[in-house]
Structure formats: C-alpha cells, structure tokens
Amino acid sequence: MAKDSYIHIRVSSDLKQAAKQHAADTGRTLAGLIEWLLRQELKKNVAAAGRLIPAERRFKIMNSKIEMVKEYIQDEIQERGFENNQIEIDFAGICEESETIQAAKELDYLATPGEGQGVWWIYVEQ
C-alpha cells in the first residue's frame, strides 16, 4: 500500500473558498477534490499505451497553445485597441497564468493581473 504524501500549495482565498464550496456540493472534502482533480489531469496526459506523453510532444502542445494565446491577444487588440498603451483581457478558461505571461512576452508586451479571475492587463512597456 502506498504511503500518503503531502503537497503544499498557495492559492487565493477566493479560489480556496470556491473550491471548498464545490467540494461540499459534490460530497467531497477539499483534499479529496484536489486528489480527484489531479487524477483527472493525469488521465488526460496518459497516452493510449499507458505511458506519459513524451516531453517533446508536450513541448509541441505547449508551443501551439502559446501561439493560440498570442493570436487571442492580437485579436483583442485589433478589435478593441489599446487605451493609454494598455488593454484589459479576460483569459479565464482559455489558458494558464504562465501561458498568458509567455504569450505577452513573445509579443513584446508586459502582463499584470487585472481585476477578477483570469483577467490580465496587457501593455506596452514605456
């Protein structure tokens, strides 16, 4: 039998509260919910042969996602334009924080968190 191990993570208090509520709504503990989510994520990354996706393939997937995020940023800028050399863009459900930062950087922009979950200010460094 595998021995339990602990993971310590830092999340916003809003996210923690929402996760606790979701866990209660689904009849799980917060720890049980996190463990279930980790298992679901790992299942996504397991190839049909039962092995993890090779690093090279993961890198290609990540690069294509960054390209998609870059296109999204460019589309938002083209649609709404900059105001005072900045634009607020909602990335919720589209990508991870690190992908937002990387995509903005590759487009020669800076990114800082905005108001709300997944919202970022993309701006031109002056």
Mean pLDDT across the chain: 82
Whether the predicted pLDDT of 48 surpasses 80: no
101-121 as b/e: b if 16+ CB within 10 A: bbbbeeeebebeebeeebebb
- Domain interval for residue 119: 55-123
Residue 91 above 70 pLDDT?
A: yes
Specify if 4 maps to a domain: no
Inside any domain, residue 65: yes
CA distance 38 to 34: 6
User: 7 in a domain, yes or no?
Assistant: no
Domain count within the chain: 2
Burial of 87 (0-12, 13-18, 19+ CB in 10 A): buried
Task: Find how far residue 39's CA is from the centre of its chain.
Answer: 17
Would you say 66 and 103 are in contact if contact means Cβ atoms under 8 Å apart? yes
What pTM was estimated for this model as a whole? 0.55
